[in-house]
Structure 1
Amino acid sequence: MPPVPARLGRPVLVDGKLVGYINFIASPGDERTSFWAWGRSSPSDFIQEVSFFLLQIALSVGVLGLIFGVLASRTLAAPLNRLAVAARAIGARNLDYRVPVQGSDEIREVAESFNKMAADLQSAESLRRNLLADVAHELRTPLTVLQGNLQAILDDVYPLDKSEVVRLHDQTRHLHRLVNDLHELAQAEAHQLLLHKQTVDPNSLAQAAVDFFGPVAEEKGVALRLEISGETPSIQSDRARLMQVMQNLLNNALRHTQSGGEIVVSVAIQPGGVEIAVQDTGEGILAEDLPHIFERFYRSGKARDRDNGGTGLGLAIVRALVEAHDGRVTVTSGGRSAGSRFVLYLPHNQEHSLLSNL
């Protein structure tokens, strides 16, 4: 680059307007003369202009970056704000509230998880309300009978004889069963049910249950028999609780099997466990009732259990006790008058676990 002249040189005018400067610089010992021309200002001014231009660009980029940052932060914060609003709505018992599933994959996953949580809470609240309504109804019926009969005795409508006392005693027994069943079911569902596990032979368990209900089945005219496929491995379980499960299933089968019908209890080996089935030729279960058959107080056809002396909790207790043993229970039926089949699956290699927080 040539040396910068100390002075601006001679101005160059075009149509009376200054367009730049020209200067003549002669190098020592050189006959040639150099001519240099530049714009309106000196090179230092040019550098200042370039610097100012770059500063303007930097400021513009900074402002644009700030605007983009604000917009991006609002875009990212909007889903979180929606979740915060939804959380406050759920906290205010508005369990119908849902957040829109949109945005990035991560935001969509969070929204879907939140909506699932809200749906689970709504389902649990619905079950709680139904439970309270059912308990109130179940308690009201025997209490109303007791109150009415006692009032009739006080008004000398009924004589105070032994038969009337027996009827009142039956109502108190029903109340006692209902309260005990509710307490037991609540313990099982809260994983606070104490299990005294020991080695249990499934064949012996099934045989004991069949022997216990044999006289009842014979009196009703129902054939009750046991089918065993051979030696079965022992299981670690609470024998008394499993006997309660078998009694509930057989009692349910006898209640819904008419005279001349048949109930078959079978024991078979399955991969990793033992299967105990109770199959009857009774009333059967409608397809729409099958998913709800193990719910507390649920009555197939709106008429089960209440008119037959049950509490409506037997099958719910069956499921709770079986699951407490890390097993499962299922039911199948061909529909009305086609009978039903309840199947228990109990793993035989269970680790000792005590479902109690005591």
Structure 2
Amino acid sequence: MVDYVNSKEIQALAPTIAKLSQIYQQENSWRVMENKHQGFHQLISKQLEGSAFSPRPINPMPRYNDFHERPPIGAPIEKNNRLHGNETRRIPPPPKENMALYALLNNEGDIVAGRYIESIDYSKTPIKIDTKTIGYLAVSKRKHLTEGYEVDFLEQQRSYLWLIAMLSMGLVALITFPLSRHVVEPIKLIAKGMHKLTQGEYQQSIDLKRKDELGELSRDYNELALTLSENDKARKRWLANISHELRTPVAILRGELEAMLDDVRPITKSNIASAADEVKHLQHLIDDLSLLTSTDIGGMRYRKQNENLTAVLTSELDKYDSYLSNAGITLTRDITTKNIITFIDKTRLFQLLENIINNCIKYSHATEFKLSLTYKNANNMAILTLEDNGNGVDKKHMPHLFEYLYRVDDSRNRSMGGSGLGLSICHNIVMAHQGDIKAEISSLGGLAIIIQLPAT
């Protein structure tokens, strides 16, 4: 507002600038205006009369003669390059607050008339004849407003601004408090739940019933809690299974050896053979665990190359046919004639098939086994399905079939010689081929193992 008032004052003096230009043209100099302070002030006053910028009267500048009257010691001397000899001029007291000062300067910046104090900031408007600058009209800049309609306007605006600020603060408070509660409360619940997760409390969920980002975060949190809970159960089940699998052969072996040492059983070749069988079973279990560990840490080596999966399975089926026939199981084939090129390790693939076929022979009591190979063009995948018409598996067990040492039978009967690690090894082999393996109910009535391998 102060800058606006200063610019408006200069605009109001535009006719005065034109008048001064005419005065200069009379003698082609400022001689007629030199030291005519009162006349210059009257010229300004007449132009600004009746406006908000009307100046107060200015007393003539007092003069002092070097021989008769000297200025007080230390009094500032006003700049006037036109004084000669011993003539000096003392600067009057500073102007009253917010009172404008006006001065006429020549084109070199020397004062011609009016009042010019170097310590005060002035707006200098050039006075021109055609394109030539002949002088400047200097108007002191106001630093602040003390009177006039601008001050009233500012006071009114200040009142309005305070009112608007208070209303805005009230409105912000009414909006932000419910909004912050709407946002902060779910975050507190999730933070509290995360703290419980760090303490091992996985059996929990957060139901925010929201459709925004916090609702998605709560759903992800619930998935995380469920995954951690399942992993924790699998870990405990793994520890229980491995301890059971290792304890059983060790306990039998120890019992037989102690019986022979205590002469309860004679030390015969047959009794030692029985103990050796337990050692073999223990060794087989340890070998399977070592193999699984190798696959988990990437230690199992694969020699992959592009193979025609259709041709590989066709050439291998005769071996599986005779193997299944010896167990009283009929092999049914349903292999596409399309050449499906896959990047695989044939040795590991045969190991995978043998584990699944062995499980079928030992545990399913099936009479029919079907091997199918199809090609899914939508995602460029080879689908290998192995299914039987045996006893099958309840749906509740299917998600756990590929876990280490998982068995469907609660009795954990080892009479068949299984370690419960065959399907876990199959899972790791498929994962190493960037594929997917899952168990479903077979169309034949038993269990179906579905394997997907990427085709090239």
TM-score (normalised: structure 1)? 0.70
For the structure 1 residues 108 and 209, does the alpha-carbon distance in structure 2 shift closer, same or farther, using more than 3 Å as the test?
A: same
Inter-partner Cα distance in structure 1 for 2:161 and 2:455:
79
Matched, 1:313 2:447: no
Alignment of 1:169-184 (within 5 A): 169-184=276-291
Alignment of 1:22-33 (within 5 A): none
Match of 1:293 among 380, 392, 401: 401
Matched, 1:160 2:267: yes
Check whether the contact 1:281–1:339 (CA below 8 A) recurs between aligned residues.
yes
Match of 1:116 among 223, 231, 244: 223
Matched, 1:333 2:446: no
Matched, 1:200 2:307: yes
- The farther-off stretch of 272-281 and 67-76 is 67-76
Identity %: 26
For the structure 1 residues 275 and 95, does the alpha-carbon distance in structure 2 shift closer, same or farther, using more than 3 Å as the test?
A: closer
- The farther-off stretch of 120-129 and 110-119 is 110-119
1:327 partner letter: G
1:158 partner letter: R
Could you tell me which residue of structure 2 aligns to residue 36 of structure 1? none
Could you tell me which residue of structure 2 aligns to residue 18 of structure 1? none
Structure 2 unaligned runs (5+)? 1-49, 52-148
Inter-partner Cα distance in structure 1 for 2:370 and 2:435:
21
For the structure 1 residues 163 and 133, does the alpha-carbon distance in structure 2 shift closer, same or farther, using more than 3 Å as the test?
A: same
For the structure 1 residues 95 and 342, does the alpha-carbon distance in structure 2 shift closer, same or farther, using more than 3 Å as the test?
A: closer
Aligned residue pairs, count: 307
Inter-partner Cα distance in structure 2 for 1:111 and 1:331:
30
Inter-partner Cα distance in structure 2 for 1:264 and 1:104:
47
SS of 1:307's equivalent? coil
For the structure 1 residues 276 and 47, does the alpha-carbon distance in structure 2 shift closer, same or farther, using more than 3 Å as the test?
A: closer
For the structure 1 residues 191 and 86, does the alpha-carbon distance in structure 2 shift closer, same or farther, using more than 3 Å as the test?
A: farther
Check whether the contact 1:332–1:340 (CA below 8 A) recurs between aligned residues.
yes
Structure 1 unaligned runs (5+)? 4-42, 350-358
For the structure 1 residues 317 and 189, does the alpha-carbon distance in structure 2 shift closer, same or farther, using more than 3 Å as the test?
A: same
Alignment of 1:224-239 (within 5 A): 224=331, 228-230=335-337, 232-239=339-346
Could you tell me which residue of structure 1 aligns to residue 251 of structure 2? 144
Displacement of 1:245: 0.3
Inter-partner Cα distance in structure 2 for 1:329 and 1:55:
70
SS of 1:124's equivalent? helix
For the structure 1 residues 281 and 89, does the alpha-carbon distance in structure 2 shift closer, same or farther, using more than 3 Å as the test?
A: closer
Check whether the contact 1:232–1:268 (CA below 8 A) recurs between aligned residues.
no
Pick the structure with greater CA Rg.
2
Q: Deviations over 1:31-62 (max 9, x none)?
A: xxxxxxxxxxxx99x98996785476256336
Displacement of 1:244: 0.9
Inter-partner Cα distance in structure 1 for 2:253 and 2:231:
33
Higher relative contact order (CA 8 A, sep 6+): 1
Alignment of 1:1-358 (within 5 A): 54=160, 57-58=163-164, 60-61=166-167, 63-64=169-170, 67-68=173-174, 71=177, 72-73=179-180, 75-101=182-208, 105-189=212-296, 193-202=300-309, 203-205=311-313, 207-208=315-316, 210-211=318-319, 214=322, 217-224=324-331, 228-230=335-337, 232-256=339-363, 258=365, 261-271=367-377, 272-302=380-410, 306-333=414-441, 338-349=445-456
Check whether the contact 1:205–1:243 (CA below 8 A) recurs between aligned residues.
no
For the structure 1 residues 210 and 129, does the alpha-carbon distance in structure 2 shift closer, same or farther, using more than 3 Å as the test?
A: farther
SS of 1:344's equivalent? strand
Check whether the contact 2:321–2:330 (CA below 8 A) recurs between aligned residues.
no
